[in-house]
């Protein structure tokens, strides 16, 4: 009732009502009651905002926000992205699991894989392990086409796998897209945030609430509201 009275007062004064929360304006939120949004001003941007939301009854409530970094070449529609372009794919994605060089933050409920000296992420298009974590680099995945996860001490202190090109990987579209801790600048296609924000997201995300991540821009063909 109070909300309705406030809206009525604003309208009587000729003021526009405040915009609906971002999840309400989206075409799809993944069907769960938790959502992460990563929004940039436009497709050329390398910075923006990460926010995490949860549904409480009929309302979407923003739980936290953090400055975010995107690919050094901006953002591009996920369905047409090409590997090696240093672009962040837009779209709505599942969050299969988390991982890290450091121990999982207290309260983490996502499956959390500890990084070891043998942990790699295969990005070799010719390998059956394309876009997958492997313990011990297989002979068919070239080291030059893979990430040795332990080598990224800052970025992969904590990370969450973004389900881009993950269920049925399309060769050449891209591999190893994560939400992770900031490095020194823009990413090679991932999304990064300060470490305290990454730890907060991990302590908040609940697989029982089916969290997803939506990535996009404020407007245009890659507008986050389209996903």
Tens-of-pLDDT digits for all 227 residues of the chain?
444 444 454 445 556 667 899 999 999 999 999 999 999 999 999 999 999 999 999 999 999 999 999 999 999 999 999 999 999 999 999 999 999 999 999 999 999 999 999 999 999 999 999 999 999 999 999 999 999 999 999 999 999 999 999 999 999 999 999 999 999 999 999 999 999 999 999 999 999 999 999 999 999 999 999 99
Identify the CA nearest to 198 among candidates 159, 161, 162: 159
Identify the CA nearest to 177 among candidates 203, 139, 215: 215
| Structure confidence at residue 19 (pLDDT) | 82
State how beta strands 159-161 and 98-100 pair.
antiparallel
| Structure confidence at residue 13 (pLDDT) | 54
| Structure confidence at residue 2 (pLDDT) | 45
| Structure confidence at residue 10 (pLDDT) | 45
Supply the pTM of this predicted model: 0.92
Burial (0-12, 13-18, 19+ Cβ within 10 Å), 196: exposed
| Structure confidence at residue 1 (pLDDT) | 45
DSSP assignment, residue 93? E
Task: Please tell me the distance from the alpha carbon of residue 187 to that of residue 190, in angstroms, as a whole number.
Answer: 6
Q: What share of the chain is helix, strand, coil (3-state, %, to 5)?
A: 20, 35, 50
């Amino acid at each position: 009732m109070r909300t309705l009275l406030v809206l009525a007062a604003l309208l009587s004064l000729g003021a526009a009502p405040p915009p609906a929360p971002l999840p309400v304006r989206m075409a799809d939120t993944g069907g769960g009651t938790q959502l992460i949004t990563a929004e940039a001003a436009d497709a050329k941007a390398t910075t923006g905002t990460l926010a995490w939301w949860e549904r409480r009854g009929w309302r979407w409530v923003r739980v936290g926000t953090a400055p975010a970094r995107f690919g050094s070449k901006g953002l591009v529609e996920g369905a047409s992205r090409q590997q090696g372009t240093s672009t962040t794919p837009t779209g709505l994605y599942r969050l299969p699991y988390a991982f890290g060089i450091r121990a999982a933050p207290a309260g983490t409920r996502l499956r959390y894989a500890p990084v070891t000296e043998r942990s790699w992420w295969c990005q070799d298009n010719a390998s059956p392990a394309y876009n997958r974590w492997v313990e011990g680099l297989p002979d068919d995945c070239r080291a030059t086409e893979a990430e040795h996860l332990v080598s990224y001490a800052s970025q992969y202190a904590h990370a969450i796998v973004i389900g881009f090109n993950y269920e049925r990987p399309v060769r050449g579209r891209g591999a190893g897209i994560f939400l992770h801790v900031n490095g020194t600048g823009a990413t090679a296609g991932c999304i990064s945030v300060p470490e305290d924000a990454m730890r907060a997201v991990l302590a908040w995300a609940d697989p029982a609430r089916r969290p997803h991540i939506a990535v996009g821009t404020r407007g245009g063909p890659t507008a986050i509201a389209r996903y």
